[in-house]
Amino acid sequence: MFKSGFVGIIGKPNVGKSTLLNNIIGEKVAITSHKRQTTRNRIMGIHTSDEGQIIFLDTPGIHNAKSPLNRYMVSTAVGTFRDVDIILFLVDAAAPFDAEDVLITESLATVSVPVVLIINKVDLIQKQRLLPFIDDLRHRHAFEEIIPLSALNGFNVDIVLDIVRKLLPEGPKYFPDDMYTDSSERFLAAEIIREKIMLLTHQEIPYSTAVVVESFKEDERKNLIRISAAINVEKNSQKGIIIGKKGSMLKEIGKQARLEMEQFFDTRIYLELFVKVSKDWTKNERMLKELGYDTRKEP
């Protein structure tokens, strides 16, 4: 019997949702960083085996959103509830179960699909702290299963897959065997650049940045892809930080992004980056839409 279906990965920001997705798929389909709200869009990862096909949907962190961009991110995550057969709810074992976790738990009250609680980052806490934590959480919702896990080192990821397969309905194969994401090459290139900005810059800069790939041209004869991308920021001062002294920061962002792209696309990359000021784009509905975050469109 071949099983298939859609599995939503939800949780507050920075609990390891994208790290878990990448570990399950065995490929980097979602960018990661130690900063909150790294994921802005819903990312699909496809896991195919002889037993079935599981389509995982990584979502932005659910939080108390105030700006139009953050409201878009939360709407994208919550909108996933109605599109999936199973929900994986990740919490952080090394952090308190806080108001954001409670907000998510309360929003699950109306969900009719099975919810599996994943307690991530158990490698960061002492074992004697884990059992009381699990005991507290099991009373908060009728979870189908509760699984301690380390997405970073792969501990119990196979258990997650086994439980998901058990809960999935019989169904067709939605995607070819060799397809592991539906994200376009342009989107993946933009996300790699944005990840390097997240890792190399500080304070408000990562959250005020949007990357748009304006040109993506393959030259098969030269085994080369030429990519031109715009890094959009909100203020002139942020532009100066992204460029850096004598262009040093922009060069480092470009170097790290190019090297990862060459490994990911398995070809040489010519990467051109430039920085644009799109004043207060995170608060402007029109600019958000132009940059790929349509707050008026239902996710």
The structural domains of the chain, with segments of one domain joined by +, span 3-167, 185-290
Out of 214-218, 219-223, 247-251, which region has the weakest mean confidence (pLDDT)? 219-223
What is the CATH topology of the domain spanning 185-290?
A: GMP Synthetase; Chain A, domain 3 (3.30.300)
Tell which CATH architecture fits domain 3-167.
3-Layer(aba) Sandwich (3.40)
Strands 268-277 and 43-48: what pairing?
unpaired
In this structure, are residues 68 and 45 in contact, taking their beta carbons and an 8 Å threshold?
Answer: no
pLDDT-derived band at 235 (thresholds 50, 70, 90) equals very high
- In the numeric block, the tokens 């799109």 are attached to 278
Of 60, 56, 47, nearest in space to 8 by CA: 56
In this structure, are residues 19 and 112 in contact, taking their beta carbons and an 8 Å threshold?
Answer: no
pLDDT digits (tens, 9 = 90+) for 59-74: 988 888 888 888 888 8
The torsion defined by the Cα of 61, 290, 180 and 197, in degrees rounded to 10, comes to -60
What is the rounded distance in angstroms from the CA atom of residue 282 to the CA atom of residue 11?
22
Cβ burial, residue 107 (10 Å; 0-12/13-18/19+): middle
pLDDT digits (tens, 9 = 90+) for 115-165: 999 999 999 998 888 999 999 999 999 999 999 999 999 999 999 999 999
In this structure, are residues 17 and 7 in contact, taking their beta carbons and an 8 Å threshold?
Answer: no
What is the rounded distance in angstroms from the CA atom of residue 278 to the CA atom of residue 231?
10
In this structure, are residues 216 and 227 in contact, taking their beta carbons and an 8 Å threshold?
Answer: yes
pLDDT-derived band at 298 (thresholds 50, 70, 90) equals very low
What is the rounded distance in angstroms from the CA atom of residue 54 to the CA atom of residue 56?
6
What is the rounded distance in angstroms from the CA atom of residue 209 to the CA atom of residue 207?
6
φ/ψ of 262, rounded to 5, equals -60, -40
CB atoms within 10 A of CB 140: 15
In this structure, are residues 32 and 38 in contact, taking their beta carbons and an 8 Å threshold?
Answer: yes
Give this prediction's pTM: 0.90
Out of 33-37, 93-97, 239-243, which region has the weakest mean confidence (pLDDT)? 33-37
Can you spell out the DSSP letters for 28-80? Answer: --S---SSTT---S-EEEEEE-SSEEEEEEE-PPP----SHHHHHHHHHHHHG
Q: What is residue 234's three-state secondary structure?
A: coil
Q: What is the CA angle 35-38-40, rounded to 5? A: 155
